[in-house]
Amino acid sequence: MDFGSINWLAVVACVVVSMISGSLWYNPKTFFPAWWKGIGKQGEPGMQGNMGMTWGLTVLSSFVQAVAMAFMVPAMGGLMGGVSAATGASTGFMLWLGFIAPTYLVNKLFAGHGLKVWAIEIGNHLVNFVLFGAILGAWR
C-alpha cells in the first residue's frame, strides 16, 4: 500500500460529504423518525452517552472508509477501463453491494430491527460509497 498515492484532500472531502449526507439522511424531516422508531426507541431523541466519542469515532470511521476507497478506486477502476468519476462510483456501488448491504442485513435481522431499519441504514451508506468513489475517481 502506497499511502503517498492517496489524494488526502479528496479523502477529507469524502469525510465532509459523509457528515453532510448523514445529517441530511438522518434529519428529523427525512428518515430519522422512522429509524428511531425502528430501532425500538420511544419518545424524544436525546444525546445519549459520550457524544464526543460518538462523533469522533464517526469521523474516524468515515476517514478509514475513504482511505480504503482511495486504494480500491484505482485498482477496480483499472479493471473497468480507467479511473474516472464513473468507474469510482461503480467501485463504490460494488463494494457497498458486496460488503455493506449483506453485512448490515445479517446484523439488523439478528438484532430484530427488520428490513426498514436495514434499508434506511444501507441507503445512507450507498450514497456515501458512491459519492466517495466518484470524488476519488474524479479528483486524481
- What does the pLDDT look like over 58-67, one tens digit per residue? 999 999 999 9
The band of 140, judged by pLDDT with boundaries at 50, 70 and 90, is: confident
Q: What is the pLDDT of residue 86?
A: 96
The band of 46, judged by pLDDT with boundaries at 50, 70 and 90, is: low
How far apart are the two ends of the chain, measured CA to CA in Å? 17
Residue 48 has pLDDT above 80, yes or no: no
Question: Domain segments of the chain: what residues?
Answer: 3-138
- Residue 70's alpha-carbon distances to 11, 35, 64, in angstroms, are 7, 30, 10
- What does the pLDDT look like over 67-96, one tens digit per residue? 999 999 999 998 898 999 999 999 999 999
Sign of the CA dihedral running 18, 20, 23, 27: negative
